[in-house]
Amino acid sequence: MRRILTVAVTVAALASGLVGLVSSPAYADTVCGQTDPDTGICLIWIEVPGTPGTPADPGDDGPKDTGSGAACYWDGTAQGVSKPPPGPVPCSSEYGYWSNGYHCYIQLLDPQPAAGDPSWQGHEPGDGGVYQCYQPQTDLMILVWSADPPPNSGSGPTPRDVAQLAIADMKLTAINIGIAPKAEDGRIGLVGMPIWMWVANPDAHTWGPATASATAGGITVTATARVHQITWEMGDGHKVTCRTAGTPYKPAYGNKKSPDCGYSYTTSSAPKADHKFMVTATSDWIIDWAGAGQTGTIRLNGLVREAQIAIGEAQVLVQ
């Protein structure tokens, strides 16, 4: 038999900070649209529908983007209820709309109780309202007084939106490029000779893993980010995809090839601007998120850093 109780409930206001986020379609790639050239930090995020990568780009390898998740969810652990387990629920039913903060379906009681009824919690009729709060998971119905209508989670953020807030807190940046020979040091490479590329001084912000949590709309999400691969555009029309941070070059290696991230030019950079190739390193991140009884993955790319490299041709003198 359904139990009816009268209780006082306090719910915190929705967390702010979703300004600038756009509800993302399922299977959308998050791309950095503009990067600070000095720090490599993303300035503008955009959402691109479709699976990440193209047939010519290995960026479509690895875990796929799993969409937005459901904004409405049940989690009875705070009440000591383990069954059913946390998970998404319909945002509306015959009992009203779902509120994550109250963990129940909300409906204004009609008619409202008479003056002096305990459900008013000492307030007068017209001062706020008394609402019916029904949990189908426990078959429990309670009456709650609230000055304002309890938040409708169906109109709130999705777990993916909240994960994006966590990602913003990570302050992910483009890698610091390590490359040899390095043009800034006045060194010149040769056509056909090995070039080494690597992530210089990798940390949580440039390589991962980085973890952060965010809360909004009654949803708390924890996200963990790591780089899946670096795409090196070598400036001569060719690309190299490296799924490791690369190996820093040491003079003792001589003319050996990099064991995990290298390249050899077939043409000189002499015809290029400043007689150098512009090398661009683009990071492709994988972010796994969990919250609201759900899990998902976000593919993020577009964090870019550039460096120059000079390539000459060996001259053979014949006497």
Q: Show the low-confidence residues of the chain (pLDDT under 70).
A: 1-60, 183-186, 314-319
User: Whole-angstrom distance between the N-terminal and C-terminal Cα of the chain?
Assistant: 106
Domain residue extents for the chain: 72-155, 157-312
Report the C-alpha gap between 95 and 150 in whole angstroms. Answer: 14
Task: Let me know if 248 is exposed, middle or buried by CB neighbors in 10 A (0-12, 13-18, 19+).
Answer: middle
| pLDDT at site 32 | 64
pLDDT at position 34 is: 59
In one-letter notation, the amino acid at residue 269 is S
16 burial level (CB within 10 Å; 0-12, 13-18, 19+): exposed
Q: What is the largest CA-CA distance in the chain?
A: 113
pLDDT for residue 66: 87
Decide if 290 contacts 224 (C-beta within 8 A).
Answer: no
Distances (CA, A) of 177 to 27, 115, 207, 253: 30, 71, 12, 19
Encoded amino acid at 150, one letter: P
In this prediction, residue 120 carries a pLDDT of 96
CATH superfamily assigned to domain 157-312: Immunoglobulins (2.60.40.10)
Dump pLDDT digits (tens) for 166-204: 999 999 999 999 999 876 666 788 999 999 999 999 999
- Cβ-proximal residues to 102 (8 Å cutoff; 6+ apart), any chain: 9, 11, 133, 144, 150
For the chain, the three-class secondary structure string (H helix, E strand, C coil) is: CCEEEEECCCCCCCCCCCCCCCCCCCCEEEEEEEECCCCCEEEEEEEEECCCCCCCCHHHCCCCCCCCCCCCEECCHHHCCCCCCCEECCCEECCEEEECCCCEEEEECCCCCCCCCHHHCCCCCCCCEEEEEEECCCCEEEEEEECCCCCCHHHCCCHHHHHHHHHHHHCCECCCEEEECCHHHCCCEECCCEEEEEECCCCCCCCCCEEEEEEECCEEEEEEEEEEEEEEECCCCCEEEECCCCCCCCHHHCCCCCCCCEEECCCCCCCCHHHCEEEEEEEEEEEEEEECCEEEEEEEEEEEEEEEECEECCCCCCC
Interval 47-93: pLDDT, tens: 544 433 333 344 457 888 888 999 999 998 888 888 899 999 999 99
Residue 65, both tokens = 């983007």
CA 111 vs CA 7, 49, 115, 131, 308: distances in Å: 18, 47, 12, 10, 74
Record the tokens describing residue 84, joined without a space: 């059913």
Question: Looking at residue 21, what is its pLDDT?
Answer: 31
